[in-house]
Structure formats: C-alpha cells, structure tokens
Amino acid sequence: METLKDQVVIVTGGTAGIGGGITTELSERGACVVAVDVDEEAGRKIEKINSDQVAFLKGDVSKKSVAEEAVKMAVNKFERLTGLVNNAHVSRQKPLLELTDDDWSISFETGFNATLQFMKAAYEELKKSEGAVVNFGSGAALRGSVNQASYAAAKEAIRGLSRVAANEWADDNIRVNVVCPLALTAGVEQWKENDPEEYQHVVEQVPLNRYGDPQKDVAPVIAFLLGEDSKYMTGQTLMADGGDIKLR
C-alpha cells in the first residue's frame, strides 16, 4: 500500500458514499483531508473519527466561495494542498425530453462548474506542491445510459476539461486524471432492494460480477492517482468498474 503521508487533499462530497470511502482511505494511508459536503451530520461524524487528519467544511460545491474556503482551510489547518478530488455531483434521472432547465442547471452547477471552480481555486497551491487532480467521469456517460442526459453531458464535459487542464498544467507538474467508478453506494443499495432483478441483470454484465466497494475498490485507485506511483500519468481516464467498460 502506497503511503500518502504529507499529502493534503480536498475531497468534494467527501462524507458518505464514494466520497466518504475516499476520505477514509486517504486518511488511513496518512493523508490529511478537507471533506466538503452539505451533509453536516455525516461530516461531523467522519471528522470526529480522525480529527487530526480530517477537517469538515459544510458547503455547496456549486458556489465559488466554498471552493476558495476549502483551499484556505487546507492551507491554514494542514499548511499545504497537494491534491484535489472532485467527487460531488447531483443530478436527476429523467427522459431527455422531460428534463427541465433546472434539471440541467443542477447537474452542471454541482458537476462541471463545481469541478472547474475547485480546480481554479486550487491551482496556485497545487502548482507549489506539484500536486494532482482527480476528477470523476461516469460509465453512464460513456454508454449513453437512458434517463441520464444531464448527468452524462456534465460528466463528458468534465472529461474534456480534464484533458485540456492536463496539457495546460503539465508545465507546472500538476497532473489531472479522471476515474469512472461502479460502486455499491447507498443509492445503489436502495435500487437493489426495489428492483433486485434489474440489479442482478446489471451485475451479470460486469466481468468481476459485483459492484465495487467505495473504500476497498474505488478509493485505492484515487490514492494511486494522487501518489508518486502515478507521477508519469496525466490526462487519462481510468475505469474502476470491475471491467464493465474497456476504453480504447
């Protein structure tokens, strides 16, 4: 297991689900984490478990001021910033023709715009530390999954942004990569209970025949992209999905 000692990482949506798994895994590997989320109860809980290494910031990631505050918190509490994980994203599942302007707005504000704002806010500190950014794409976007138009569009915009940033920030030794996960989150658990047959059908299409665990299966990929072992990788999309999608 690669150590992340001396690393300081911002994780958006970092208190539960995939983000919670990332926060926990990074801290267990020695990193300090600023977990940004709107869920104060979950935030205080994850902060209390390891207050020396985890700081919680309650905030809406769609707001530029929250991105700036997260960077300030990282520097003030932990003295530096070496990594950024843009995990947070809210969207609504509807057929394309039923999506409202508000549906499109919430997906792009919490997904694409939040990712951009956090990257811009973190840039100067990441330049100092020659740090890394990990953004999130989605298999739903790569597949064009039905009822996912606003989410898929925002995720592919994030991948495009990430490739450009990887090229533009390479001279600063800032690496920018993307992860597309398939994980058993609380939302997926609920879907599994409500529609077990459809859930099983999806699982059977995954070569490793299961959804990933947020901390054990997805978070280590994030840790790899933040660490020294991936220092020659940038602009890439990695699938943490049990082999469901093979990029070419």
Q: How confident is the model over 184-213, as pLDDT tens digits?
A: 988 889 888 988 998 898 899 999 999 999
User: What's the total number of domains in the chain?
Assistant: 1
pLDDT tier for residue 99 given thresholds of 50, 70 and 90: very high
The pLDDT, as a whole number, for residue 191 is 80
Q: What percent of the chain has pLDDT over 90?
A: 92
Residue at 67 is within a domain: yes
H helical segments located in the chain: 17-28, 40-49, 64-78, 101-107, 114-129, 139-143, 149-168, 186-194, 196-205, 219-226
Q: What is the pLDDT of residues 133-159, one digit of tens each?
A: 999 999 999 999 999 999 999 999 999
The pLDDT, as a whole number, for residue 190 is 87
Which pair of tokens denotes residue 79?
Answer: 């003295």
Catalytic residue (one of 151, 199, 211, 232): 151
pLDDT at 92 over 90: yes
Residue with tokens 């082999």: 243
Q: What is the pLDDT of residues 66-85, one digit of tens each?
A: 999 999 999 999 999 999 99
pLDDT tier for residue 12 given thresholds of 50, 70 and 90: very high
The pLDDT, as a whole number, for residue 198 is 84
Q: What percent of the chain has pLDDT over 70?
A: 100
Could you tell me if 226 and 134 are in contact, meaning their C-beta atoms sit under 8 angstroms apart?
yes
Q: Domain of 119: which CATH number?
A: 3.40.50.720
Residue at 45 is within a domain: yes
Residue at 236 is within a domain: yes
Residue at 204 is within a domain: no
Could you tell me if 117 and 59 are in contact, meaning their C-beta atoms sit under 8 angstroms apart?
no
The pLDDT, as a whole number, for residue 207 is 97
Average pLDDT on 112-125 reads 98
> Residue 10 CB: number of other CB atoms within 10 A?
28
Average pLDDT on 166-194 reads 94
Average model confidence (pLDDT) for the chain?
96
Burial of 148 (0-12, 13-18, 19+ CB in 10 A): buried
Q: For residue 30, what are the contacts with CB-CB under 8 A and spacing of at least 6?
A: 3, 4, 5, 6, 7
Rounded to whole angstroms, the Cα distance separating 44 from 46 reads 6
pLDDT at 8 over 90: yes
Residue at 194 is within a domain: no
Residue at 246 is within a domain: no
Residue at 190 is within a domain: no
Residue at 207 is within a domain: no
Which pair of tokens denotes residue 7?
Answer: 């690393």
Check if 199 is active-site.
Answer: no
Of 53, 23, 56, the closest CA to residue 41 belongs to 56
Which pair of tokens denotes residue 35?
Answer: 């977990």
Q: For residue 153, what are the contacts with CB-CB under 8 A and spacing of at least 6?
A: 107, 108, 141
Could you tell me if 112 and 135 are in contact, meaning their C-beta atoms sit under 8 angstroms apart?
no
Rounded to whole angstroms, the Cα distance separating 144 from 169 reads 30
The range of the structural domain enclosing residue 135 comes to: 8-185+214-240
pTM of the shown model: 0.96
